Structure 1
Amino acid sequence: MNSTRAPRWAHPPTDWLKCNTDGAWHKERDNSGLGWICRDEKGSMIWAGARAVTKAASPILAEAEALKWSAETMTSFGYRNVIFESDSLTPVKMINGSEAVWPVLQSIIEVIRLSLSQI
């Protein structure tokens, strides 16, 4: 029998925080969900957020919105050492510049990059 295990959460380095984000989307629902959790090097929760939003147009938009919300929040709190993790590879590649930014995500990616430049 084969089993696939999700990778285990890895602690950030000392004096760093790690923010994990996620977006939830369903084609038949009126709302999408956004969430994030920020933990320290011990794995203790420092901050978290979850909210329903008017339905995002796609799953990738929900994922990008969750990343944007967490990056803006950590920036507004004045944190400087933050690692962001997402289970959505496409927006991460767009943010890092290794994939072209889709026009529908352009404004969201720009806000994320601006927030990250301040961290």
Structure 2
Amino acid sequence: MGKEFYTERDIEDMVQRGERSIVIHDDVVLTDLAYEKAKRLGVELLQPNDVPPAAPVRPYINKPVPSSKTRNSNLGNTFKIDTIRANVKKAVRAKLGSQVSDELLDRIIDRVASELGLK
């Protein structure tokens, strides 16, 4: 299906027919004059996944709240973290030797584990 273009005249015709909204997606193009006319006549321009500006989606801030099941599974995660920590330290020591301190390595592993929800 090709792109659908709306001009100023198309918007006027829509309003006369009683249509008060247009769904805007990748295949819909409004000319500048059509956009201005739609705003002036009160035509609502809708987008399929429209999020209001007052509620931005910020996945780096909005973290899911852990359920009781997740909290109970943290006991198993402690074992996982200890195993992962040992494996990572072993691999880093094999690759870099003593260039990285144990303290720094522990902090990095803890940070990654907490970001992955393992801690």
More strand as a share of residues: 1
| Higher-RCO chain (CA-CA 8 Å, sequence separation at least 6) | 1
What TM-score, normalized to structure 2?
0.24
Q: Select the structure of larger CA radius of gyration.
A: 2
